[in-house]
Amino acid sequence: MKFIQKDLGDAAEASSGGGDRGLVKEIGTLAVLVALALTIIYFLVVGITEVVVSKVSPQREQQLFGGSENGIVAGAKIPDSQKEKFARCEAVLEKLQSYEEVPQIDYTLIYLDDLSPNAFAVPGGSIGVTRGLLNSLDEEIAIAFVLAHELGHFAQRDHLRGLGRKLGFGIGVQLIFGADLQSFTRGPTDLVLAKYSRGQESGADEFGLRCVLSVYGETEGAEALFEVLEENGSMPNWAYMFSSHPDNQSRIRRILEAKKTP
């Protein structure tokens, strides 16, 4: 018997096309399920974090994260050229702690050898300041506002929320999906779990103004850091739509408007 191969023509092409469509459908279904699972994990973590943060007092926070041995961020050695400026910041920070809304814990200033002007709150009572910040600000009110802004994050417990959400989400993803998917989602989740939201930053700005006004009796020059960032920044205005921070111009405008409010 002689075997003659027949051309299946359209039938073969239809079968092949159907297989491709089936694969695409399966991938789409999997993507939807993964997105749903990530959303559920996120909202669970947010809820649990809020409950935990409400139960942790500032004093307990310092016991867990603070102190020279337990601090979760270590500062760099302060160069001789920065020691006077750093000491001035320490003196300003001590003054600001007299404001009644500042959580009463032992705050520590730490130095970061970074050229970008920045400051940040660290769980446990540490406030980091960069070399760029020390070199950018000369007036005491400007320095005071930056430090008071960070004290505002402590008062609002923003730093603990950011830490709790990021750790909780990472653990949840790793337990359910494994480390590979956690690595795959690291970029997108970092955007969702950004350390501070725009609302938190604006709240810290308002706290900083109240604190500086209470301690110094004025807020003239509080906007200096944002003016420096605006002059040196390279981010176009439209890009702030995707940023966790309010744009510098808006923050300057709100600070200037607050000065006019009796």
* pTM of structure: 0.67
- In this structure, the number of other CB atoms found within 10 A of the CB of residue 250 comes to 16
Q: What are 54-63's pLDDT values in tens digits?
A: 777 778 877 7
pLDDT average per 10 residues of sequence, the chain (262 residues): 54 55 79 76 69 75 65 74 95 96 91 88 88 91 94 87 69 66 46 59 89 92 79 47 53 67 52
Looking at this protein, which amino acid is placed at residue 101?
E
pLDDT digits (tens, 9 = 90+) for 68-110: 444 556 667 899 999 999 999 999 999 999 999 999 888 999 9
pLDDT, position 90 = 96
Across the chain, what does the average pLDDT equal?
75
Cβ-contact 208, 151 below 8 angstroms? yes
d(CA 44, CA 199) in angstroms, rounded, equals 21
Return all residues near 148 (Cβ < 8 A) that are at least 6 apart.
96, 99, 207, 208, 209, 211, 212
> Which candidate, 155, 72, 158, 162, places its Cα nearest to that of 108?
72
- Residue 72, token pair as written in the block: 């979760």
pLDDT for res 100: 95
Which tokens go with 127?
């406030």
Q: What is the pLDDT of residues 236-258, one digit of tens each?
A: 443 333 344 556 667 766 776 66
Residue 135: predicted pLDDT: 92
